Structure 1
Amino acid sequence: MNIILVGFMGSGKTTIARIISKKHSMKFVDTDKLIEKQQNLTIGEIFDKKGENYFREIEKNFILDYLSFCDNCVIATGGGMPCFFNNMENLKKIGWVVYLKTDFETAKKRAMLSKNRPLFKDEKKAKNLFKRRVICYSKAHFTVDANREKKLTINEIEKMLFGE
């Protein structure tokens, strides 16, 4: 069984995926980190040098060529990954997709703690992106409230998927 976490920046995908994977002896996969390693560029550099369309193609191929072969993995996706092409449908074929739902203010507050969030420099743009992506994320198998303490979010995911 694979668990795939989707959600906006600051929803806790990487942190929660890492904790669940450790706790349940599953492999942790961070799609952005693996793509950076594969391309030998940061996500920002890929966007700057090759453009968003190139990056979205890489993500699509990454799902088909790498993630589809995962077994017993907890996967933290990039925020936009499920929202392009038919990526959400392909992710749903690979495992249980869980949407870590946050409100915009929570996502913004958390994202501001990281210096690597250029999208939040223009709050109006970030808010519009948030609104568009929520529609995509809501197609996940499950939705979990991620506005609260991560322990509670993790407990809910475990209860749904492991019966704990």
Structure 2
Amino acid sequence: MQIILLGYMASGKSTIGKQVSKKLCMNFIDLDDYISERENMSVSEIFKIKGEIYFRRIENTYLQEILSFEEGFVLSLGGGTPCYANNMELINSSKAKSIYIKASIKTLVTRIIEEKSKRPLVANLENEKITEFVAKHLFERRFFYEQASITLNTDNKTLDEILLELENKLD
């Protein structure tokens, strides 16, 4: 089985992905970490040195590479991955199950503010501006996220409840 988790930053893709991969005894792959490893620099450095266009091109290349793997995996995408190139088309035409990890703007903003320093897109924004930023981004990206084969709403749920619901939806 191959599982792809997509959704906005701080939606819980990595947290959920690591738990699901443990439970199913499969490899967990974070696409941003995979890219960093292959390119020998962080995603922030790639953006700064080579630019977003370069990043989006290699992101698509590495996504295709991972989708060609024969073994099972749980893949966590970057928040923007589904929105560029033909990435959603690739995902939906693969044998993987795509899952939109959905959270409300309020939930996302709360989580983002808690870990703001680790989020280059918002690190320099004042907290009051983050809600507007997230709402605008989510509006632009929702079209792509909603193309996933499964939607999993994580608002007001514990990790255990989310994992149980996901398990039921995968059966």
Normalising by structure 1, report the TM-score.
0.92
| Cα gap change, 1:133 to 1:70, in 2 (>3 Å) | farther
118-127 vs 23-32, which moves further: 118-127
Percent of aligned pairs sharing the same letter: 36
Deviations 1:96-125 (A, max 9, x none): 000001111211211222221132325233
What value does the CA root-mean-square deviation take over the aligned residues? 1.4
2 CA distance for matches of 1:145 and 1:151?
13
Residue 152 (structure 1) aligned with residue 161 (structure 2): yes
SS at match of 1:32: helix
Structure 2 counterparts to residues 51-130 of structure 1, below 5 A: 51-92=51-92, 93-114=94-115, 115-120=117-122, 121=125, 122-123=129-130, 124-130=132-138
Range 14-23 or range 82-91, more displaced: 82-91
Counterpart-to-counterpart distance in 1, 2:16 and 2:133? 26
- Equivalent residue number for residue 137 of structure 1: 145
The letter for the 1-side match of 2:42 is T
Look up the SS of the partner of 2:110 in the other structure: helix
Mapped partners of 2:34, 2:99: distance in 1: 20
Contact 1:31 1:75 in 2 (8 A): yes
Paired residues of 1:68 and 1:94 also in contact (CA < 8 A): no
- Whole-angstrom CA distance in 2 between matches of 1:6 and 1:72: 17
Question: Helix, strand or coil for the counterpart of 2:121?
Answer: helix
Amino acid at match of 1:64: Q
The alpha carbon displacement at 1:45 in A equals 1.1
What stretches of structure 1 of length at least 5 have no aligned partner?
none
Letter in 1 for 2:154: A
Whether the aligned pair in 2 keeps the contact of 1:91 and 1:97 (CA below 8 Å) is yes
C-alpha displacement of 1:42: 1.1
Q: CA deviation at 1:71?
A: 2.2
What TM-score comes out, normalization by structure 2 length?
0.89
Aligned length: 162
| Runs of at least 4 residues off by over 4 Å | none
